[in-house]
């Protein structure tokens, strides 16, 4: 079987590079699509699950595919295998939350060209594009010559509005509720982060409500799926205490341990409320994000 990706090569000197970004975390995909489009002129098509990624990659020409390996409906491993079987030979870079050698081997065995462990920084993403989109070199130049120009400067602590002094900047174990340095290293574009945070908070609230219902009903598959969704979005945002708590709940769902799931849910909810309070009440967040990007 031959797809347009092979039968109709693009004129790279006249058209922007086109990549397919398959990621079930819609906030992350929207942020990165905006970053790549605005910063280096790449045309990004988003897919929300493996089935959609497979359908789009077979129907349209892309120069690179970024493939989340843990998507619903059809995971990235199977989607990649089917694409290779169909004759799609463009580079496919696996995106996974795991960082074990075995996971890398599994991705390569499925047909992936390379592997990125999430959450990856803007610098790592752009260097990957340099590797697999050589025609884009002219777009990098001065605009992203130093994609992580913020260097070693630490992000200043976020100070809650004085009327909301209970919005803690740290979780119970002393870790930041939201790691601003990680957030900016991830997305780079402060304005995009600021604009999309309300959407993230609304979406996160929906996921938490669905997760609560799944635990109440003992729906183990849904617990694992939603725990994974909450965990991935939180990690991408730099809300690491929430991500860690959601990971434990996800694992309980996968091993069908209802007792553990019920006991873990309050902790996930608590970390979520801490994160939401931090982001909602942090008066100077826009200034800190802009400062972090400009340094």
Q: What is the pLDDT of residues 262-272, one digit of tens each?
A: 999 999 999 99
CB contact at 8 A, 23 and 29: yes
pLDDT given for residue 250 in this prediction: 93
- The answer to whether residue 154 scores a pLDDT higher than 80 is no
Q: What is the pLDDT of residues 22-66, one digit of tens each?
A: 987 766 777 777 777 766 778 889 998 899 999 999 999 999 999
CA-to-CA distance for 77 and 175, rounded, in angstroms? 34
The mean pLDDT value of the chain amounts to 77
pTM, two decimals, is 0.68
Q: How is 7-64 classified by DSSP, letter by letter?
A: HS---TTTS--EEEEE-S-HHHHHHHHHHHHHHH--EEEEESSHHHHHHHHHHS--SE
**Topology alike, domains 4-140 and 162-294:** no
For domain 4-140, is the CATH number 3.90.550.10? no
Q: Which residues, listed in sequence order, are joined to residue 117 by a DSSP beta bridge?
A: 96
Topology classification of domain 162-294: 1.20.120
CA-to-CA distance for 175 and 169, rounded, in angstroms? 9
Beta-carbon neighbour count of residue 161 at 10 Å? 12
**Which among 273, 200, 191 is positioned nearest to 233, based on CA atoms?**
200
Strands 18-22 and 92-96: unpaired
- The answer to whether residue 113 scores a pLDDT higher than 90 is yes
Domain assignments of the chain as residue spans, ordered by start: 4-140, 162-294
Total count of residues recorded for the chain: 295
pLDDT given for residue 162 in this prediction: 40
Could you tell me the strand order of the sheet in which 114-117 lies?
Answer: 43-47, 18-22, 64-68, 92-96, 114-117
Q: What is the pLDDT of residues 176-229, one digit of tens each?
A: 888 877 777 776 656 666 777 777 788 888 899 999 999 999 999 999 989 988
CB contact at 8 A, 293 and 189: yes
CA-to-CA distance for 40 and 141, rounded, in angstroms? 9
Among 100-104, 114-118, 157-161, 253-257, the minimum mean pLDDT is found in: 157-161
Among 71-85, 92-106, 214-228, 278-292, the minimum mean pLDDT is found in: 278-292
Among 86-90, 139-143, 207-211, 250-254, the minimum mean pLDDT is found in: 139-143
pLDDT given for residue 39 in this prediction: 67
CA-to-CA distance for 63 and 165, rounded, in angstroms? 49
Mean of pLDDT values over 112-118: 90
CA-to-CA distance for 281 and 167, rounded, in angstroms? 7
Token pair 């553990």: residue: 260
């Amino acid at each position: 079987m031959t797809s347009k990706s092979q039968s109709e090569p693009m004129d790279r000197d006249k058209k922007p590079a086109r990549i397919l970004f398959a990621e079930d975390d819609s906030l992350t995909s929207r942020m990165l699509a905006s970053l790549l489009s605005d910063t280096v002129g790449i045309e990004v098509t988003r897919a929300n699950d493996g089935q959609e990624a497979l359908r789009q990659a077979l129907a349209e020409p892309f120069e690179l595919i970024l493939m989340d390996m843990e998507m619903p409906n059809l995971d990235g491993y199977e989607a990649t295998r089917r694409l290779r079987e169909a004759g799609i030979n463009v580079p496919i870079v696996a995106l996974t939350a795991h960082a074990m050698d075995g996971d890398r081997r599994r991705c390569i065995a499925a047909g992936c060209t390379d592997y990125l462990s999430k959450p990856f920084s803007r610098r790592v993403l752009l260097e990957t594009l340099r590797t697999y989109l050589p025609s884009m070199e002219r777009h990098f130049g001065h605009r992203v010559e130093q994609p992580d120009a913020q260097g070693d400067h630490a992000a200043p602590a976020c100070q809650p509005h004085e009327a909301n002094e209970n919005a803690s900047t740290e979780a119970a174990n002393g870790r930041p509720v939201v790691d601003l340095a990680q957030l900016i290293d991830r997305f780079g574009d402060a304005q995009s982060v600021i604009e999309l945070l309300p959407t993230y908070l609304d979406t996160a609230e929906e996921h938490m409500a669905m997760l609560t219902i799944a635990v109440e009903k003992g729906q183990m598959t849904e617990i694992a799926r939603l725990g994974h969704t909450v965990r991935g979005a939180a990690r991408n945002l730099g809300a690491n205490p929430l991500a860690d708590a959601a990971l434990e709940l996800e694992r309980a769902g996968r091993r069908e341990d209802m007792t553990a799931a019920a006991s873990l849910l309050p902790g996930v909810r608590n970390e979520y409320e801490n994160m939401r309070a931090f982001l909602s009440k942090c008066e100077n967040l826009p200034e800190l994000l802009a400062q972090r990007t400009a340094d």
